[in-house]
Amino acid sequence: MAQHDIAVIGLAVMGQNLARNIARHGFKVAVYNRSAERTRELVTTHPDPNLTPCFDLETLVAALQPPRRLLLMVKAGEAVDRMIEQLQPLLAPGDILIDGGNSFFRDTERRATALAQAGIHFLGVGISGGEEGALHGPSIMPGGDRAAYAAVAPIFEAIAARAPDGTPCVAYLGPGGAGHYVKMVHNGIEYGDMQLIAESYDLLRRGAGLDAPALAEVFATWNQGELQSFLIEITADILRARDEESGQPLVDLILDTAGQKGTGKWTSQDSFELGVPIPTINAAVEMRMLSAQKEERVTAAQTLRGPAARPAHEPTALIEAVRAALYASKICAYAQGLALLRAASDERGYGLELATVARIWRAGCIIRARLLDEISAAFTAQPDLPNLLLAPAFAAAIAERDAAWRRAISAAIAQGIPVPALSSALHYYDAYRSERLPANLIQAQRDYFGAHTYARIDRPGLFHTNWSELVRRR
């Protein structure tokens, strides 16, 4: 019985599809779910000689050849801790537990430390690509003990998505919670990217008067150029879809409240912890919060006034301006996320290679995009690049689109169409390229009311001024 290569625990759709993916690549997989019916359903609906159902944890663990490898696909949070508590007495030193859910990176580090005391290895592995990616090839972001990763690498490399150049979209990222941290930031960038696309859609819908079918053609065209990505591709598909009952564009019938599961919020929270600005990602998180205030917004719409939203006279010009604004803003969103990864790596000793991170995002994951080939190339050419905006190719790309970027945002402001992510990206760019910011006044204010001191540009040291006395002397 102890001939299986790996166990998959938790057979919701992601767990089922990963188990099927692993089995399809020739590995023998023991599967278990708390609900026995779910286990039977998997092996009945998708029979495979490499899939073996187990109905208790003792049988599952006994089915594995040492070192035993167990992939947990249970809900992040307490469910992971409970499953670890049940499994730990059944395991032996050298066995490997793998958390493939969207766990908070600090929880991963806590679990790894506790399990290490018993000689059990723990890997925190980010898996992106949704249900289809899990079945046909996800992007996989593993972190934890390097030797433990080596024991599961053949499986992960076999099931991972393949980039256009044929390389698998998986690589060891670093110790501790590195894998889940990279997945968290991936999801933060995903939030930003989705909000940028939504604002572009809204600006063309309200500002240019384009309906869903016309917008579908715009996004389909964009997907043939530098904006090519999974999210642009599915946006075109969404805008083409019609409700089967009414015949109306289905997107127009969807309530405008966006959900979130927490990874975007975690990204924002840790950016404040590390002191790294990620305003475009933060704007995306905040807009999901604001979208949830539907009843308040309905009331406010009846009370608060702004400029009338009028379709532009030349929609073609606005379409081109929005295309440029979206591309430039996407560069900024990636720049912010990658800057956060660099800071976290330096602070926590992850040893992340940003070229590798971008490389394994090129296929399988939700933010896969043509842009990532250039991002990987930029960090390969200059591994210590402090910010993506300083890479010559991206600096030139934004300079080429600068005027159009500003025209698109100006059009939105003039018509009262909210574009917080697009505009925050532009403000980030303008602030980053500013040799001097007005923080000198802020520091003077802090010294005035709190004696916090300030540095000067003409001499070294820290200084405090009695500002009210200085003014009185004049």
Angle between helices 315-348 and 392-415 (to 10 degrees): 120
28 catalytic? Reply is no
The predicted-structure confidence for 313-348, as pLDDT tens digits, reads as follows 679 999 999 999 999 999 999 999 999 999 999 999
Q: Across all residues in the chain, what is the average pLDDT?
A: 95
The predicted-structure confidence for 222-241, as pLDDT tens digits, reads as follows 999 999 999 999 999 999 99
Question: What does the alpha-carbon distance between residue 353 and residue 402 come to, in Å, rounded to a whole number?
Answer: 30
Q: In the chain, what are the domain boundaries?
A: 6-176, 183-432, 439-473
Q: Tell me 369's DSSP state.
A: B
**Contact of 46 with 77, CB cutoff 8 Å:** no
End-to-end CA distance of the chain: 91
> CA of 460: how far to CAs of 252, 457, 467, in Å?
60, 8, 20
Per-residue confidence (pLDDT) for residue 474, from 0 to 100: 73
**Contact of 147 with 215, CB cutoff 8 Å:** no
**Which one of the listed residues 183, 199, 286, 330 is annotated catalytic?**
183
**Coil, strand, or helix at residue 78?**
helix
Percentage of the chain beyond pLDDT 90 is 94
**Considering only 345-349, 365-369, 388-392, which range has the smallest mean pLDDT?**
365-369
**What class is the 439-473 domain?**
mainly alpha
Tell me, yes or no, if the two domains 183-432 and 439-473 fold the same way.
Answer: no
Return the CATH architecture of domain 6-176. Answer: 3-Layer(aba) Sandwich (3.40)
183 catalytic? Reply is yes
**What class is the 183-432 domain?**
mainly alpha
Non-local (6+) Cβ contacts of 37 within 8 A are none
The tokens for 247 are: 């015949």
pTM: 0.94
- Report whether pLDDT(37) > 90: yes
Left, alpha or beta for 94 (phi > 0: left; psi -120 to 50: alpha)?
A: left
The tokens for 272 are: 């404040």
Per-residue confidence (pLDDT) for residue 473, from 0 to 100: 82
Per-residue confidence (pLDDT) for residue 235, from 0 to 100: 98
Per-residue confidence (pLDDT) for residue 448, from 0 to 100: 95
**Which one of the listed residues 190, 199, 286, 374 is annotated catalytic?**
190
Task: Transcribe 392-451 into DSSP letters.
Answer: HHHHHHHHHHHHHHHHHHHHHHHHT---HHHHHHHHHHHHHT-SS-THHHHHHHHHHHH-
The predicted-structure confidence for 10-21, as pLDDT tens digits, reads as follows 999 999 999 999
Per-residue confidence (pLDDT) for residue 313, from 0 to 100: 61
The predicted-structure confidence for 142-159, as pLDDT tens digits, reads as follows 999 999 999 999 999 999
**Coil, strand, or helix at residue 72?**
strand
The predicted-structure confidence for 238-289, as pLDDT tens digits, reads as follows 999 999 999 999 999 999 988 777 778 999 999 999 999 999 999 999 999 9
